[in-house]
Amino acid sequence: MVPPLSEAMLDVVADALVDKGYVLLSDIIPQEVSLALLAKMRAAAIWEFEPAAIGRGIDQQIDTKIRADKISWLDKKDAVDNDYLQLMEQLREGLNRRLFMGLFDYESHYAVYESGAFYRKHVDALKGSQNRILTTVFFLNPHWQTDHGGELIIYDEDDSQLETVPPRMGTMAIFMSERFPHEVRESFATRISIAGWFRVSYATHGF
């Protein structure tokens, strides 16, 4: 059983989403959960991961000039994954209580950027699509150095740079999916993260 997210932490996230639309955190995931996730990834065989695609549905395609990471989806049947997913469920419920966002479910995958990999500027949801509503990115990179690159760059709606986020162990970025374009700068060391999206139900929103 993972420890509960504190009400104070949930307040911080909710207030930041209302105020700015995004928040950067360094202590939302308990250390024991972070270390278990890191140990799992260090033991993983990268060749078992799939090349990440761009687009959705029938428009999905592999284009390594835009995106060069490899991914593996989290599975709640896996004990390590499930601890993380339980925390995200607490976050979903906490934000729904505070902000009435109607967040319905959560999907997430590990993303591995080997040296030379990147992800060009993009948004995680089309405006008005009402599917992916809130993005989370959690980093699993101890001892990350400035010259390793791999920063998450968050832009505002006018494409001005808002934040440069080094992918250091334990850092999480949370932001509104359709509001903030973002990119992953080229990484010069193996970079590991968990990317996730809270979604709403089409049925709930009349689609």
Written as tens digits, the pLDDT of the chain (207 aa) is: 899 999 999 999 999 999 999 999 999 999 999 999 999 999 999 888 999 988 766 567 888 899 999 999 999 999 999 999 999 999 999 999 999 999 999 999 999 999 999 999 999 976 555 589 999 999 999 999 999 999 999 999 999 999 999 999 999 999 999 999 999 999 999 999 999 999 997 544 433
* pLDDT value for 129: 56
Quick one: which of 130, 171, 135 has its CA closest to 151?
A: 171
What stretch of H or E contains 52? Answer: none
In whole angstroms, give the CA distance from residue 189 to residue 148: 6
pLDDT (0 to 100) of residue 72: 97
Note the pLDDT of residue 128. Answer: 53
- Is there a contact between 186 and 149 (Cβ–Cβ < 8 Å)? yes
Residue 20: CB atoms within 10 A of its CB come to 14
> The pTM is what?
0.93
pLDDT for 201: 76
CB atoms within 10 A of CB 166: 15
Q: Is 204 helix (H, G, I), strand (E, B) or coil?
A: coil
What is residue 60's predicted lDDT score, i.e. its pLDDT? 78
Query: What beta strand segments (E) does 48-104 contain?
Result: 50-51, 70-73
Would you give the distance in Å from CA 172 to the centre of its chain? Answer: 8
